[in-house]
Structure 1
Amino acid sequence: MNDEVWIAGVGMTPFGIHRNTSVKQLVRSAIEDARADAGTPVGNFDAAVFGNVVQGLNEGQSSIAGQVALRELGIEGIPVYNVENACATGSSAFNLAVNLIRSGSADVTVAVGVEKMNIGDPTRTMANFVGGTDVHDPVSLQRTLHELGGDADGDGAGRRSVFMDIYAAMARAHMRNFGLTAHQIAAAAAKNHAHSVSNPRAHYRIAMSIDEVLAGRRLAEPLTVPMCAPITDGAAAVIVCNTAGLGRLAAQAPIRVLASVVGTGTDRPLDDYERHITRRLSARAYEEAGVGPRDISVAEVHDATAFAEILQSEMLGFAALGEGGALAERGETTIGGRIPLNPSGGLMSKGHPLGATGIGQIFELVEQLRGRAGDRQVDGARMALAENGGGFHRGEEAVAVVTILGI
C-alpha cells in the first residue's frame, strides 16, 4: 500500500445553465483544466472514474457513459469505472480514485463528475429526483416524512423536487426538537449567497439579506426558494496520485488526502442523531486523518437546502447538537468566522449539478488550501473537510462521503 495520496490537479467548469454545451464538452473543459493544473499529458492516467446521475435518463446513454465521453479526450486503453451514487456521485468517484491509488492498482488516476440537468423539460427534470428514493415503497417515504415533520401547508408551494419535501420535513423535526428557527435557516442561506458573489464559477452571484431570503417564494414549510439549490449543469475533475505518480507530473502545489470515507445509512430511530450517517462517517474520517473538528480550517458541506448545512454543522462536530442554527446566526460560519462553511457559495448558490457536486467541493477546498481563492479566501487555511450526501432512505441520506484534505 502506498504511503501518501495527493491531489495533483483540479478543474471545474462554471456551474449554471449550459443549454448549448454537451456532456462531452463539459467533461473536456474540466479535465483539460485539471491536466493543466497538474502538468500532465492526457496519456498519463492509469485509471479513470466517471460520475454521472441522469444522462441515461435524459439522453439514453445508460451504459458506458465514461468510456464514450473520455475516448473523445484520448483517454483510452485504461480501466474506466462508471459511478452513480445520487448526489454523492462525485465524491464517490473521488473516493474510488483514491482507493485505486491506496491499493497499488494505479499511480495516477482522474475522477470526473458531470451533469446536464437543464434539458428544457422541467417536469422531466424533477422526475429524475424520485430515483433518489425507494421507488418500490413510496408509502414508506410518506410515512417517514409525516413522522419527521407532521402535516404541512402546501398551498402556493409550486413545482419542486421530492427532496425539498424531505428537507422540509427534516427541518420541521429539528425545529420541534431543538427550537431551530426560520430566521436561523435564512441566516445560513444569506451567508452562502454572499459568499458566491466572489466565486466566478457560481451559478448565482447575487447577495441576499436574511429578510429577502425569508420573503422568497415558499416551497415546503419552512423552506423558501432562496434556501434551496437550483437545477444546475456543470463538470469538475480531480487528478489523484501517489508519491511515485507525483514524480510523473509537474504539479506545483499538491494537496494531501488525509481521509476519504464512504458509508450508507442504517435503520435508526429518527431522533437518534448520534447514529446519523454523517456523525458516524465523520468520526471515522477524523480518526483516519488523526484530527478533530477543531483542526478544520474550512469546510464545504452538502447544503441542498440551508437547513442541511445547519444539520451537517452539528453532525460534523462544528456545533453541539441543536446549536447549528445559532452558529450560523452568530456569523461563525462566514468567511472570517470560527469555522467558514461553503465559501464557494455552497450548493444553493454555486449550484448542484448532481454528479459533479462532490468534486466541485474538492475543487473549492484545493483552491482554499493553495491560497488562491481570491476574495473568498479563508486566511491561514491548512486543513479542509468536504461532506457530500446522496439520496434518502429510511430517514436519512442513503449514502454520504466525508473527505479531509491538508497541506
Structure 2
Amino acid sequence: MGWNLGVSTEQLYLQAIKIALNDAELTKEDIDGFSGKWTAPGGTQLHPGSADWGTLLGQPLSWIGDTYPQGPPGLMDAAAAVSAGACNVAVVVSGQGALGDGLAEYTTPKNEFVAPYGAFTAANFSLVAKRYMHELGPKQGEAVRNDVAKIAATIRNGGSQNPEAVLKNRGEITQEMVLKSKPVALPLRLYDICLANEGATAIIVASKSVAMECPDPVEILGVGCEWQRQQYTMAPRFEENWSVGRDAAAKAFRTANLKPEDIDVRSFYDATSFEVARQFEILGYCGLGEGAAFAVENGIDAKGKFPTNTDGGLLSYSHTGFGGPHTRASYAIRQIRGTAGSGQVDNVKTALSCGAGSGAQYHGTIIFGRPQ
C-alpha cells in the first residue's frame, strides 16, 4: 500500500498473489480458480476479464468469477464455487496501481444522470449524510456531526500509529481538527473522507481439505450482499439508501448463527466517517440516529468495547478504489490470526467486514471465525 508505487495494477496483483500463496504455503500450480479485474492491454474488452489471468498464471482455470471480484461479493462467489466443487483453490484479488496525480478517474463516472451535474463520489455520500442530519433535527444532527468527528479522529489516530498505513506517523488528529478541516461536500470535510491510493490485496479461498493443511486458516461463517442499483448511476436518497445492507447483514448473522454483540472486531467500510455510524445502525447495534453516539460512548479503538478499524481503515490505512472492500476483509482475517500489528485486539475469535455503503447504493457483510 502506498501513494506512488511506480508499478502497474497487474504487477501489484501479482505481488499480492505471491505473498498470499507464500503465506498459505501453496504454489501457483495449486490455483484453479481466479477472480480479479484485467486492466492491461491485450486482454478482453468484456470486463472484469478474470479469464485473461490464465495467461499470466500460465495454466488453465477451472472457474473464474467475473461478477464482482472484491470484498464480500467476490469472496461469496469464490466460496460458492469451492463448495460446489468447481475449483479447489480460488484467488480473489483487487486493487489499483499507477493512479498518477489529480482526481481518481473512478470518482467521476460518465453516467448520464451523474456527469451533467458534476457529481463525484464524496458528493454522493454527502447527499445521504446531509439528509440524515436534517431528518434528526438541528440539535441531534449537530450532536451527530460532533460525534462523527470523534470517530474520524479515532480511526485516523489508529492509522498514524500503524507502520503499514499510508498515513503513518502523521501525529494526533483531534475532533476539532476534523471539524475545521477543508470542506469538500458538506457535511463532509477532508478528514471525514477516505484516501485514494495504490495497492493490492489477494485472498485465497480453498476447500476445507486444502485449507486445513495451510498454516492458520480462517473460516467464512456468513455473508450477505445487497444491491439497490449500479453505483453512481443516479443520485442516492437518504430515505432509500441509509438502510442499504440491513437485510444483507441480517442474512450474514443468521448464516453464521451469531449476533452483533458476538463479533470481536469490526472492519467497516469507512469511505466517510458518517458511514461508520451508519454501519453500527444497520448491523443492529443501535437504532436510527444512534450510531455515532454508540461508537463514541462505547469506544472503537483497540482497547474499546467495540474495536473498529484499528488499523486506520480507509481513512488512513489504505483505500485502493474498487479494491477497498477487499482490504477491509483482509484486515478482519488478520485480526483473527493475530497478525494485525499495532491495531491488534486481544483474543479475537470472530471478525466482521463490510464493503461499500449508502453513496454507492450497495453493501456487503462477511463474517469470519476460527475453523469449526
TM-score band by shorter chain is 0.7 to 0.9
Count residues in correspondence: 357
Partner of 2:210: 245
Shift of 1:69: 4.9
Partner of 1:137: 113
1:382-393 alignment runs, 5 A limit? 382-389=349-356
Q: Structure 2 CA distance, aligned partners of 1:106 and 1:117?
A: 32
Partner of 1:108: 89
Distance change in 2, residues 1:84/1:117 (3 Å): farther
Shift of 1:75: 4.9
Partner of 2:254: 287
Q: Structure 2 CA distance, aligned partners of 1:214 and 1:117?
A: 32
Q: Structure 2 CA distance, aligned partners of 1:321 and 1:59?
A: 49
Shift of 1:89: 3.6
Which SS does the other structure have where 1:299 is aligned?
strand
Q: Structure 1 CA distance, aligned partners of 2:145 and 2:353?
A: 25
Distance change in 2, residues 1:219/1:84 (3 Å): farther
Q: Structure 2 CA distance, aligned partners of 1:331 and 1:129?
A: 33
Shift of 1:78: 0.7
Partner of 2:133: 175
Partner of 1:330: 297
Q: Structure 1 CA distance, aligned partners of 2:43 and 2:145?
A: 41
1:19-168 alignment runs, 5 A limit? 19-51=5-37, 55=39, 62-63=45-46, 65-69=49-53, 71-72=55-56, 74-79=57-62, 81=64, 83=66, 85=68, 89-116=70-97, 118-120=99-101, 122-123=102-103, 125-126=104-105, 128-131=106-109, 135-138=111-114, 162-168=120-126
Distance change in 2, residues 1:380/1:51 (3 Å): farther
Partner of 1:188: 151
Task: Give me the CA root mean square deviation.
Answer: 2.9
Q: Report if the CA contact (8 A) 1:50-1:80 is conserved.
A: no
Partner of 1:271: 239
Q: Report if the CA contact (8 A) 2:127-2:237 is conserved.
A: no
The answer to whether structure 1 residue 227 and structure 2 residue 208 are counterparts is: no
Q: Report if the CA contact (8 A) 1:51-1:84 is conserved.
A: no
Distance change in 2, residues 1:354/1:138 (3 Å): closer
Moved more, 61-70 or 41-50: 61-70
Amino acid at match of 1:136: E
Amino acid at match of 2:107: F
Distance change in 2, residues 1:353/1:269 (3 Å): closer
User: Any gaps of 5 or more consecutive residues in structure 1?
Assistant: 1-14, 143-159
Q: Structure 2 CA distance, aligned partners of 1:316 and 1:32?
A: 34
Q: Structure 2 CA distance, aligned partners of 1:29 and 1:48?
A: 15
Q: Report if the CA contact (8 A) 1:27-1:69 is conserved.
A: no
Shift of 1:65: 4.8
Q: In percent, how many aligned pairs have the same letter?
A: 22
Q: Structure 2 CA distance, aligned partners of 1:369 and 1:192?
A: 19
Q: Report if the CA contact (8 A) 1:229-1:348 is conserved.
A: yes
Q: Structure 1 CA distance, aligned partners of 2:73 and 2:346?
A: 29
Partner of 2:328: 361
- For residue 339 of structure 2, the aligned residue among 340, 362, 372 is 372
Question: Per chain length, whose mean CA-contact separation is higher, i.e. which structure has more relative contact order (CA < 8 Å, sep 6+)?
Answer: 1
Which SS does the other structure have where 2:29 is aligned?
helix
Q: Structure 1 CA distance, aligned partners of 2:355 and 2:198?
A: 17
Residue deviations 1:83-128 (CA, integer Å, cap 9, x gap): 465xx844322222111112221222111112126223x25x24x2
Shift of 1:214: 1.5
Q: Structure 2 CA distance, aligned partners of 1:244 and 1:308?
A: 38
TM-score by length of 2: 0.86
Which SS does the other structure have where 1:271 is aligned?
helix
TM-score by length of 1: 0.79
